[in-house]
Amino acid sequence: MRYKFPELGRNFGDCINEWLWPRVLAEAPSTVNFYGIGTLLCAHFEARARSGLPTHVMGSGAGIGAPPSAAARRNWRFHWVRGPLTCDRLGLPEDAAITDPAALVGDHLPAALSRAGTLLVLHHSTQSRAGPFWREAAAAADVGYVDPMDEPEAVMTRIAGAELVIADAMHAAIVADAVRTPWVPMVACAPLARQFKWLDYAASMDVPYKPHVMPAADVAQALGRYRDATRPGPLSPELVGGAPSGAMTTLYRGGALAAIGAGRLGLGAWGRADPRRLARAVAFLEGLRGVSPVLASDAMLARRKQQLYEAIARTPFGLRTPATSPT
C-alpha cells in the first residue's frame, strides 16, 4: 500500500503516514489514491495521482501552489481536511475540517519515562540546506538535535522525551501537541508561503501561531523573503483575515533588513562556518528557550482525537479495533 508519494522522500511529516495508518485503519486502502498526512491538496500532487482510481482525502491540507482542479475534486471523497483555511481555499463546508491526523500519534507511541532538555527539529528543507550548521549551533546552545529525516518513530520518541521542542518542522509541533510537549515555532529559511499550513493547523487546535524568525542567511534569501512578504498569495488578507498575514509580513521584512545588513558585513551563505553567524544562531536558540511555549489544551486535543477516530470509522477502510500497533 502506498500511503505517501514516493517523490517526497525522507520528509518527517509525510513519513508518519507509513507509521500511523497501519495502526489505525482496519483495512489498507490499496486500490485508491490516498491523501493523508501532508500538504498534498494542490495541483502538483493531483497530477501525480494514479489515474482510474478513486481518491480519498483523510486529513491533508492545502497551502502550497494552486489547489486541485474543481473537475478533479468533484470525484474525490473528502472525509476531512487539516483545518479551516484548507476548507476556505477549496470551497468545502466548515465541518470538513478536523485537524492533522498526526494528532493521534500519542496514542500509539510508548509513554516517555522521563522528559529532559530542549530539542530542535528542523524542516527537511532546512536540514538539507543547513543541517550541519544548525547541529553545531544547537550543541553550542545546549539544545538537543534530531535529524528530521531519521525514522519517524525515532524522531517522535525524541519529541516525547523533551521538555520543550523548537519546531521549524510543522509536524514536530503537531507531534509535540500529541505527546504533550510544549513547543515554540521557529522559521529558519522556509518561504512565507509555507506558513499557510501552520496557520491552518493552529486554527484547527485553537492555538496561536507567532513564529520566531531566524534572520536570513544572505542577501538573496532576504530579498526572497521580502518578495514573499509583499506580494499577494495564500496569506493574503482576504483569505486569512489580515492579522496573521500582516504579522508574518512584519516578521519577514525585519528578517530581510537584518540579512541585508549581514550581507554588507560579509556573513555569506549557510554553508561556511562563519563564527559571527554561528554566534547569532546560538543566541537565537538560547533566546527561544525563554519564550512562552505553545501547547494545545487537553480538552481540545481530546475532542479532536475523538472526531478523528469517528471520521476514520466512517470511511470504507474502517477503524482498527483496538487502534494499536500492527501485528
Q: End-to-end CA distance of the chain, in Å?
A: 16
Domains and CATH numbers, the chain: 6-106+299-314 (no CATH), 112-291 (3.40.50)
Q: Evaluate the omega torsion of the peptide bond into residue 110 and state whether it is cis, within 30 degrees of 0.
A: no
Q: Which three cell numbers stand for residue 224?
A: 526572497
Q: Which three cell numbers stand for residue 96?
A: 470538513
Amino acid at 325: S
Distance CA 68, CA 118 (A): 39
Distance CA 46, CA 317 (A): 22
DSSP assignment of 11-66: -HHHHHHHHHHHHHBSS--TTSEEE-SSS--SHHHHTTSPTTS-EEEES----SSS
Task: To the nearest 10°, report the CA torsion of 162, 163, 167, 173.
Answer: 90
Per-residue pLDDT of the chain (327 residues; tens, 9 = 90+): 566 555 555 688 889 999 999 999 999 888 888 999 998 898 877 777 777 788 899 999 998 778 888 887 878 999 999 999 999 999 999 999 999 999 999 999 998 889 999 999 999 888 888 889 999 999 999 999 999 999 999 999 999 999 999 999 999 999 999 999 999 999 886 555 578 899 999 999 999 999 998 866 555 556 666 665 555 444 433 333 333 344 444 444 444 444 444 433 333 444 455 788 899 999 999 999 999 999 999 999 999 999 999 999 999 999 998 765 554
State the residue for C-alpha cell 496561536: 208
Q: Which three cell numbers stand for residue 1?
A: 500500500
Burial of 249 (0-12, 13-18, 19+ CB in 10 A): middle
Amino acid at 165: V
Distance of CA 163 to the CA centre of its chain: 19
Task: Give the number of residues written for the chain.
Answer: 327
Residues in contact with 237: Cβ distance below 8 Å, sequence separation at least 6, in sequence order: 245, 246
Element (H, E) at 134: helix 124-140
Amino acid at 8: L
CA within 13 Å, CB half, 136? 14
